[in-house]
């Protein structure tokens, strides 16, 4: 799953807080002015997550400010839940995975693919505090090894 361009939005904290098991690509249903805003780089997915409700996948807590605030509908909510476009088989599989409450669905990044905004969603397990410390130690070790060379 290679994005065709640089990420529009990235959830860098998710790679630290979660151990990524697998990732899948999903489309996202947006209004026209939200697409313009997202393509302009105002899409924020840090702190958001994916829920399965009523047989549909939803992106919750993602923030997209209006592209032109004065031309935006008065009832527009920047943090509203947005529907993710996945096949019914992918939704059922994701629902089965998320049912046991050990794994979570977390968006990793949003990017453009053939002019459409796509979202990379990861199935991940929360890391414990000790696991996070190990990750920090490994990063520091790798950084030191690169500096020595």
CATH number, domain with residue 70: 2.40.280.10
**Which positions ≥6 away from 70 have C-beta within 8 Å?**
none
Examine residue 1 and state whether it is found in any structural domain, yes or no.
no
Nearest to 22 by CA among 53, 1, 3: 1
Q: Based on the number of CB atoms within 10 Å of its own CB, is 83 exposed (0-12), middle (13-18) or buried (19 or more)?
A: middle
Can you give the pLDDT at residue 69? 81
Residue-level pLDDT, tens digit, the chain, 149 residues:
554 568 899 998 888 888 899 999 999 999 888 898 898 889 999 989 999 999 999 999 999 998 888 888 888 888 899 999 999 999 999 999 888 878 999 999 999 999 899 999 999 988 877 777 888 888 888 888 888 77
Examine residue 2 and state whether it is found in any structural domain, yes or no.
no
Full domain range(s) for residue 28: 7-148
Examine residue 108 and state whether it is found in any structural domain, yes or no.
yes
Can you give the pLDDT at residue 2? 52
User: What is the chain's alpha carbon radius of gyration, rounded to the nearest angstrom?
Assistant: 17
Q: Return phi, psi of residue 115, to 5°.
A: 85, -5
Are residues 28 and 59 in contact, defined by beta-carbon separation less than 8 angstroms? yes
For residue 41, give both structure tokens: 């780089």
Can you give the pLDDT at residue 128? 79
């Amino acid at each position: 799953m290679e994005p065709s361009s640089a990420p529009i939005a990235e959830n860098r904290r998710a790679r630290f807080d979660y151990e990524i098991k697998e990732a899948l690509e999903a489309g996202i249903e947006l209004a026209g002015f939200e697409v313009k805003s997202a393509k302009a780089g105002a899409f924020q997915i840090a702190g958001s997550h994916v829920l399965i409700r009523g047989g549909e996948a939803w992106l919750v807590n993602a923030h997209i400010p209006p592209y032109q605030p004065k031309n935006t509908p008065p009832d527009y909510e920047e943090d509203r839940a947005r529907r993710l476009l996945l096949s019914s088989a992918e939704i059922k599989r994701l629902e089965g995975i998320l049912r046991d409450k050990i794994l979570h669905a977390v968006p990793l990044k949003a990017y453009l693919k053939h002019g459409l905004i796509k979202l990379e969603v990861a199935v991940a397990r929360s890391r414990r505090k000790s696991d996070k410390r190990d990750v920090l130690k490994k990063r520091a070790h790798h950084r030191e090894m690169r500096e020595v060379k």
